[in-house]
A and B are shown apart, each in its own frame.
Chain A
Amino acid sequence: MITETFHIAGGNFSNAGEASSRVKKILKQLGVDQCSIKRTVVAMYEAEVNIVAHAWEGNMKVEIDSEKIRITGTDKGPGIADIEKAMQAGFSTASQQVREMGFGAGMGLPNIKNNTDFLDIKSTPGIGTTLIMINYFAGHDKPKHT
């Protein structure tokens, strides 16, 4: 089991993507299949951007074993009032300023969903959001009970 934790600062768009790049390198060194790497990196990058764009600060904990990668993103921030709505493509609460930087198109959560085998979001408005993403590597099927 490999465990890494990354701190994500809110509002720092120029650093968004650093954690997912580091995780990509680890997955490549482990010899994980390219498709899983790509899906994981895309999902994790979106999650990073979400913390940067919406929250004050957050952490991403990455746990890798021989079958899967589990990423837990926890942030302190405004939270998501209506998760179902946020999952719809195109829905966004991003400010004009964030949109001008090329973010906030409302594709973040739908994109995460498309690139993960398992996704769970829990959020308390005014406190923050916790997001769990799991991807199973090639040759390891997603267990039925999840």
Chain B
Amino acid sequence: MTNQSTHSEFYHALTIDSNMCTGCTNCMRVCPTEAIRIRQGKAVLNKNKCVDCGECCRVCPVKAIYIKHDDFSEILKYRYRIALVPAVFIGQFSQQIRVSEIYACMKELGFTHIYEVEHGVGLVTEAYRNYMEQQAPKTYISPFCPAVVRLIQVRFPSLIPNIIHIKVPLDFAAYTIIGRLCAAGIKREEIGVFYLTPCAAKIASVKSPVEGEKSEIAGVINMDIMYNKVRQILINKPAAVDPINHTLRGIDVLYGLSGGEAMHYAGRCFAIDGMKNVIEFLEQLENDKIQDVDFIELRACDQSCAGGVLTSANRFLAIERLKNRAKHIDTLNKTRSLPSPCVNKQFLESLKSNIDIPEIKPRNMLPIGNNMQESMALLEQMKQLEASLPGVHCGLCGAPTCHAFAEDVVLGMAETNDCVFNIRQDPKTMAADSEIWGIDKYFEL
């Protein structure tokens, strides 16, 4: 028994449909936390290691990995149905389709209110600035991307104190719109807030935020599903135009893109996207090799949310559209006075008392044994076994690398005979195989 199973499990939106899975190993090879194995010809997810980045979902050739979300009919349970829309959703459509048309379609689908997530940006950046000024200088990490927060919990627990423990624009926006409706005399239980998500990690963070917290968000709808529904309406008939009553600034629209956060703060700020780049940076930050950096924005997806696994448009076209929209909004704002997003002082105070993320707990999955003695013995066994493995990383044993396989074997989750080089020791097959691989790839001869 090892400590791999002693933690309570993360909620995961990523789901593998084993009827569809062909066991092709694509997902297993790209998983940045080595959370996937092949068993009985199907991909199996280790829920304690998965951080919901969605890389597996992207590479699945048969769409066997999907992202569980709430049924659209869920919204009908509420009298007031609010869609919380991230700007990236607008980026999915071509420039010819106006934002007001898109929103009109969503209302036709059943939403009573559309509210943009980025309305929370002004308050969030102000809160982050205060947070960083009040505490000791260090390299602060944005909590924006939930896959990154989980990655830090699982692989870099020593960096948890660097995470800004303040909620993200999504929470601020949900709180604001609910507060506004309640102030107008609507009962809380009649309000259902639904978030349109570009990725799996955001769903997981809404469903199980951090220990002991409950999200204000009633449900999550996958962005691709909403995109298809809206496109369907747009094709069949010209949509009614819904006037937009937003108070966004251009800079708000860019928040979900790479650099969208880093541009808000003074000092040395970096924007890093893509899981591989994020891991490399955290590794060096943890080693103290990167110093005197004030703020880092880390996003699991290449090109941040524009590259989210549930987006439909090419990420670069989506970025172009959002940049144009930001410019357009800034031009408009020059000719009108922008109403403050929160005029009610009392509300602002209640918001401020609600913005802290209470505690982000380490979910360290790295120690391989229950105690030092056991870990040491296991590690020694692993080292010996690994030295005898071929190092081809063929994946035929069902593990992504020979190293991961060695770990599985010492933890009792695989057997040495699962290695194809070990079983193909018949002189005839060896003669043929060694033409390709060389004789030294085989176990002791």
Contact = CB atoms under 8 A, between A and B. Distances in A.
Contact of B380 (A2, A17, A24): A2
A21 B283 contact: yes
Contacts of B372: 30-32, 66, 137
Nearest to B368: A29
B341 interface: no
A-B pairs with lowest CB-CB distance, top 8: A31-B367, A28-B366, A34-B158, A30-B375, A66-B372, A29-B368, A42-B288, A41-B287
B420 interface: no
A66 B376 contact: yes
B100 to A, nearest CB: 52
Interface in A18-45: 20-21, 24-26, 28-32, 34, 37-38, 41-42, 45
Majority SS at the chain B contact face: helix
A66 B373 contact: yes
A29 B367 contact: yes
B378 to A, nearest CB: 8
Interface of B: 3, 157-158, 283-284, 286-289, 364, 366-369, 371-373, 375-376, 379-380, 383
Contacts, number: 59
A64 interface: yes
A29 B373 CA distance: 12
B376 A30 contact: yes
B379 A34 contact: no
Interface of A: 1-2, 17, 20-21, 24-26, 28-32, 34, 37-38, 41-42, 45, 64-66, 137
B380 A37 contact: no
A28 B366 CA distance: 6
B259 to A, nearest CB: 25
Nearest to B407: A29
A1 B379 CA distance: 10
A135 to B, nearest CB: 14
Contacts of B371: 31
